[in-house]
Copies of this chain bind each other. A is one copy, B any other.
Amino acid sequence: MDIEALCAENGLRLTKPRRVILQVLAGMDDHPDAAELHRRVIEIDPGIALATVYRTLRLLEEKGILEKHRFGDGPARFESADHPHHDHLINIETGDVIEFRSDEIERLQEEIARRHGFSIVSHRLEIYVRPKK
């Protein structure tokens, strides 16, 4: 994620809070919620407000740079949209999230939408699982 390019392209000011938040987002390989991201952010700059994290997350989601998920109840969780589309297995015993991708399933979804006269805007497939005994 090239931070400066990203802001320039979208007519956004490259402020210090944004630099820090984008740095944290670039360095994440999990699916944290806003509070967890804020924790990581204030470790770098303790002055940054949770509201700013929310505002930035919203902005980035609108620009398609982040994906927002609602796994089960609780706060929304985020991941960067810079890697190709995939779906999620959620281990309900640990909360861990495993990414997977099935072209076959993607194809079937297209077909279903088409059959109903729609085109797909986005979709979400979550499989809640438990380790097999």
Q: Measuring CB to CB, which residues of chain A are less than 8 angstroms from any residue of chain B?
A: 70, 73, 89, 91-92, 98, 100, 102, 104-105, 108-109, 112-114, 116-132
Residue pair A117, B132 in contact (C-beta under 8 Å): yes
List 19 interface pairs A-B (beta carbons < 8 Å), by A numbering: A70-B70, A89-B116, A92-B121, A100-B116, A102-B112, A109-B125, A109-B127, A113-B129, A116-B129, A118-B129, A119-B132, A120-B127, A120-B129, A121-B129, A121-B130, A123-B125, A123-B126, A123-B128, A124-B125
Task: Provide the bound-state CA to CA distance between A132 and B91, in Å.
Answer: 36
- A98 partner residues in chain B, CB cutoff 8 A: 116
The answer to whether A131 and B118 have CB atoms under 8 Å apart is yes
